[in-house]
Amino acid sequence: MPAPRRAGRSETLTVRGLRYHLMVWGDPASAQPNSPLRVMMHGWMDVGASFQFVVDELAALGDDGPVVAPDWRGFGRTQASGSDSYWFPDYLGDLDALLDALSPERPVDLLGHSMGGNVVMTYAGVRPQRIRRLVNLEGFGLPDAPAEQAPQRLAQWLDELKTPQRLRPYDTVAAVAQRLQQTNPRLAADKAAWLAGHWAAPDGQGQWQLCADAAHKRVNPVLYRASEAAAIWQRIEAPVLWVQGQQSRPPAAWHSRFLREEFEARLGGVRQLQRVALPDAGHMLHHDQPRALAAFLQDFWQRAA
């Protein structure tokens, strides 16, 4: 990939005792009421640098407002928690502390992809005054987990605590790029090569290791309650832009447990909602169609202002 149109820089920030890594474009202190700081939160097994392509396309449209994209705890270059599993409320706590540090006086424009989309929806319902505009990229939520699943889920978690978790190493950074393209065939080779250097790092033993804590692979012992998510989403006050890739499909394991009607009911509770479907885009729509996505983002943010 050619050099980024708008180069980002790496910064670190201590967040709830962890060393957080941030990709930063522009000066967060330059944010204004009608052009606030944009904060972009990545999904599971991803990194903040993943938003580089969208930031570049925004710059091509003349939008050079400040953007910050952190790596969640235990992902990218952010410090791992040191615990044997990860808890969803910790992401909320981290996001709250990040916004306290990055934009203590002004609301932000908050964007999240996939897991990050689920986190930002929850955060916007719990801290509505902190968000000016909200963007959810493919953050569907999860299938409802009935109470009857609790014994089995807790037993699975206990068993996994006794099982060492590992992430597969790769012989070369080119092999990491190939893996990215296998996961997402729409990802161009030059973008995959660029991402690979952020997604993985040499381990000092001649191989490349994914930049993620293997403990993320353990099952979450806390059941997902769709009714709780719906109640929180109904409290969101900011206008919401929901973006989905037209070719995106939910995991096969969800088919019998998460009907489209159930998701529509959840999303129907959001007060101010604009919906967009990007053609020729799957779940990683910010990689597949960054130019089209940037155009929708700019329109949403400027029209809102």
pLDDT, tens digit, 9 for 90 and up, residues 16-53: 999 999 999 999 988 888 889 999 999 999 999 999 99
Mapping DSSP to helix (H, G, I), strand (E, B) and coil, where does residue 30 land? helix
135 bridge partner residues = 111, 241
Which CATH superfamily is 9-163+224-304 part of? Alpha/Beta hydrolase fold, catalytic domain (3.40.50.1820)
Is residue 304 predicted with pLDDT exceeding 70?
no
Q: What is the pLDDT of residue 248?
A: 85
What pLDDT is stored for residue 267 in this prediction?
87
Per-position b or e across 94-122, b if 16+ CB within 10 A of its CB: bbebbbeebbeeebbbbbbbbbbbbbbbb
Mean model confidence pLDDT for the chain: 93
For residues 254-260, average pLDDT:
63
Q: pLDDT tens across 117-139, in order?
A: 999 999 999 999 999 999 999 99
Alpha carbon distance 236, 127 (integer Å): 8
Q: Is the pLDDT of residue 294 over 90?
A: yes
pLDDT tens track for 234-243: 999 999 999 9
Which range, 2-11, 26-35, 56-65, is most confident? Answer: 56-65
Rounded Cα distance, 187 and 281, in Å:
10
Instruction: Name the residue ranges covered by the structural domains of the chain.
Output: 9-163+224-304, 168-211
| Residues 203-222: tens digit of each pLDDT | 988 999 999 999 999 999 99
Phi, psi of 141 (to 5 degrees): 85, -170
Ramachandran assignment for 76, one of left (phi > 0), alpha (psi -120 to 50 degrees), beta (any other): left
Q: Are the C-beta atoms of 138 and 117 separated by less than 8 Å?
A: yes
